[in-house]
């Protein structure tokens, strides 16, 4: 695993610094609400999102909180938290394999609910 590429957006033109940057350009960069000089790829704090679903799902399987073929109802939002799938997608009855294939948020919210914070932390 070497890092082959890394991008942080928005960008700024580094040529502005050649020979000294003007006050106008410096202020424009520093007052930009999107903070272009922050390297978000390294310092940004973002939730892991879909990349963590495999951890949550594997933990639920290992802890016998779900079987691979058990069907979980995805009604579009989870019953505990008012969050759902991207685009409001409703997937109906869905098993582990299908949930991974569709990156089903509601299914994995339920797996997190069944695990509880202590077991999830143990497997993470």
Q: What pairs with residue 80 in β-bridges?
A: none
Q: Positive or negative CA dihedral for 58, 64, 65, 66?
A: positive
Which residue in the list 8, 22, 50, 103 is annotated as catalytic? 50
CA dist 88 and 113 (Å) reads 20
Please tell me the total number of residues recorded for the chain in this structure.
Answer: 124
- Annotation says 50 is catalytic: yes
| Catalytic residue set | 50
């Amino acid at each position: 695993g070497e890092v082959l590429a890394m991008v942080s957006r928005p960008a700024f033109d580094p040529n502005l610094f050649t020979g000294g940057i003007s006050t106008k350009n410096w202020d424009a960069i520093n007052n930009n609400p999107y903070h272009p000089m922050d390297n978000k790829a390294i310092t940004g704090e973002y939730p892991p999102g879909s990349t963590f679903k495999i951890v949550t799902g594997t933990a639920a399987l290992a802890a016998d909180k779900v079987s691979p073929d058990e069907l979980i109802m995805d009604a579009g939002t989870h019953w505990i938290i008012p969050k759902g799938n991207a685009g409001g997608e409703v997937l109906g009855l869905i098993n582990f394999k299908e949930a991974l294939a569709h990156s089903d948020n509601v299914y994995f919210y339920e797996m997190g609910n069944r695990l509880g914070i202590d077991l999830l932390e143990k497997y993470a």
